[in-house]
Every structure is written in structure tokens, then in C-alpha cells.
Amino acid sequence: MARAETSRLRRILHRIRGRRGVAGVEFAMVTPVFILLALFTVDFVQFLRAELRIESVAAQVGQIISRCESISAPGDSRQLYAYAQEIAGNVATFNRAASGGTLLISAIYNDNGANRVACQLRSGNVAASSGIGGAGGIGRLPSNMIVPPGQTLFATEAMATVAPYSLAARLMGSSGPRELYAVSLFLSRAPDAVSLQQPPSNSNAMACTA
């Protein structure tokens, strides 16, 4: 009787050890998958954070300049670029001419029923193209929007190049850096909005951002 009980106990212990071995193998197989998912999640969150930062740059700088009654350069323009850099953090650099981010501020008015870009302020990558248009040209606005006569609309464009890690880039369907773009549109709140269709005054004094 004792021998039978001992034999049964040994069989039970053998089964437990076998199950532990299977669990160990399963854990070893699943762990790398969890690690890859965790790395992708971290990188994807960082990418979303970069998108939100660029959108915030366009929105907040656009709000600031829409309240300006006059604008100076480099006085106000330099301060606007500094604001943009503070919001963007390490996502983009707006003070490099050959690389990094780009900040474009366009003043647009109604020219006999068509949008026209009166003037622009630019900082950052000089090779980046405006989605709105160049100074003196037609202003391309979303949804075929037309600026009301006698008004000035400020279009603030923020651009940056973000390079996700190779794993996240493949899962997001891209094998290289991705271009982030955001634009905000604000009508000028100045009493004399038409005066802002002129290029900024050449001055180191801050007329708007002091």
C-alpha cells in the first residue's frame, strides 16, 4: 500500500515538473513579443506627443499674432520664434536654416474675391515649402475659404521632421522620417487689420510681443 502511494506521488510530481517546463518554454516564447510591443508603444506615444507639440505651436503662435496691432522684425518675429521653440521643446528646432523645423506666418487678404499672400515671416529650414503659398501669390486656404473683404487672416504653419525607431516606423507603414505639418487660421483682431498686410517694420523694438 505504501509503495502504491509513493508511486502515485512520484507520478504527480513528475506531471507538475512537466507543466513547469512547458510554462517556462511558453514564457520564453511570449516575453520577446511583449518587449517589442512595449517598445513600439513607447515610440508611438512619443510620435503622438510630437504631433501634439507641432499642432500647439501653430495654434498658440497664431493666437498671439492675431492680437497684434503692429509687428516688427526682428523685434517681434524673434520673440515669436522663441515662443515656438519653447512650445516645441526638443521636437523641432526653428533656428536652423538647413535642417530642423520650420515656422511660417502668412498675412492673407481678399484681392477682388481671391486670397492673396501679402507678406510672410519665416524661421527655420529654408527648403521647406509653404502649403499656403508664397508672398505676393495666391493664398491656398482649406475648404476653399475666402478671407472677408477688409480683413487680414494670419496662417501659421509649423513643420518638423520626426524619425521613429525602425520598429515603430515599419508598424506605422513608414521606413524613414515622417514630416509633421500643422496650420492654424486666425483673423486679425486689430482695429486696423488692413495695416497688417504691410511687411513688418524694421525694428529691434517689440511692438506686439513685449
pLDDT in tens, 195-207: 999 999 999 999 8
Give the span between the Cα atoms of 154 and 45, in whole angstroms. Answer: 31
Q: Is residue 113 part of a domain?
A: yes
Q: Is residue 36 part of a domain?
A: yes
For 6, 132, 207, the CA distances from 151, given in Å and listed in that order, are 95, 17, 20
Cβ-contact 87, 57 below 8 angstroms: yes
Q: Is residue 188 part of a domain?
A: yes
Position 6 scores a pLDDT of 56
Q: Is residue 11 part of a domain?
A: yes
| Residues 7-52 pLDDT 10s | 655 555 455 555 555 555 566 666 777 776 776 777 777 778 889 9
Q: For residue 200, which of 77, 94, 108 has the smallest C-alpha distance? A: 77
Q: Is residue 210 part of a domain?
A: no
Residues of the chain with confidence (pLDDT) below 70: 1-30, 36, 39, 96-99, 164-176
Position 50 scores a pLDDT of 87
Q: Is residue 56 part of a domain?
A: yes
Which domain range does residue 178 map to? 2-203
Cβ-contact 201, 70 below 8 angstroms: yes
> Computed from CA positions of residues 170, 175, 177, 178, in that sequence, does the dihedral angle turn out positive or negative?
negative
Q: Is residue 208 part of a domain?
A: no
Q: Is residue 149 part of a domain?
A: yes
**What's the structural domain count of the chain?**
1
